[in-house]
Amino acid sequence: MAFETTASGKWTRAGIAAIALGALGVPAIGALAMPAEEAAATASADAPLTEEQKAESKALFSQFACGSCHALAEAGGTGHIGPEFDGNEGLDKAYIVNIVNNGQGAMPSFGGMIDEAQIDQLATYIVQVKK
Ligand code: HEC
């Protein structure tokens, strides 16, 4: 499917997006299910997490008590010590990964406590589920 071509023999945008995601090792299932336009637009972002990945990240969010300081309805977080995630336009993945790793002010650092790949997935989760 990633190798489908147009009648003129050019790569389709969905095909290119799938290859780009594949090169990054990101599962491209979600991207392939999307219309070409949308897939192209999100080629530089992460593919939507699977239900299993969401459940893992939600469990981490509880385990490390993120929700005691941050509001994120999807994960049951209701804290107000730190900024709310729901309605927070300023959050992107790289920013979250950095803060979780290094902390900032009253925000504790979780680097070394949470596996790097898990922090990555947790950041993706927050970006994808915040309302
Ligand atoms: C003890 C309370 C506390 C816990 C637990 C906590 N945080 Fe924070 N967090 C804060 C505070 C306070 C800030 C604001 C820091 C600042 O800028 O001074 C913050 C900031 C952040 C930010 C930046 C938000 C923004 O809008 O700038 C992110 C992202 C974040 N925390 C993610 C997490 C995640 C993910 C966890 C769980 C792994 C977590 N935090 C656990 C208190 C906490």
Domains located in the chain, CATH noted: 1-48 (no CATH), 51-129 (1.10.760.10)
Ligand 1 atom showing the smallest separation from residue 68 Cα: 5
AA letter at 103: G
- Residue 124 CA to ligand 1 centre (angstroms): 15
Q: Is the CB of 110 under 6 A from ligand 1?
A: yes
**What's the pLDDT band for 34 if we cut at 50, 70, 90?**
low
Q: Is the CB of 85 under 6 A from ligand 1?
A: no
| pLDDT given at position 21 | 45
| pLDDT given at position 22 | 47
| pLDDT given at position 38 | 55
Q: Indicate if the alpha-carbon torsion angle 118, 123, 124, 128 is positive or negative.
A: positive
* Tens-digit pLDDT profile for residues 68-118: 999 999 999 999 999 999 999 999 999 999 999 999 999 999 999 999 999
Q: Between the CA of residue 32 and those of 17, 69, 71, 84, 107, what are the distances in Å?
A: 8, 37, 32, 32, 38
| pLDDT given at position 42 | 47
| pLDDT given at position 46 | 85
What is the rounded average pLDDT for all residues in the chain? 82
pLDDT at 28 over 60: no
Q: Is the CB of 104 under 6 A from ligand 1?
A: yes
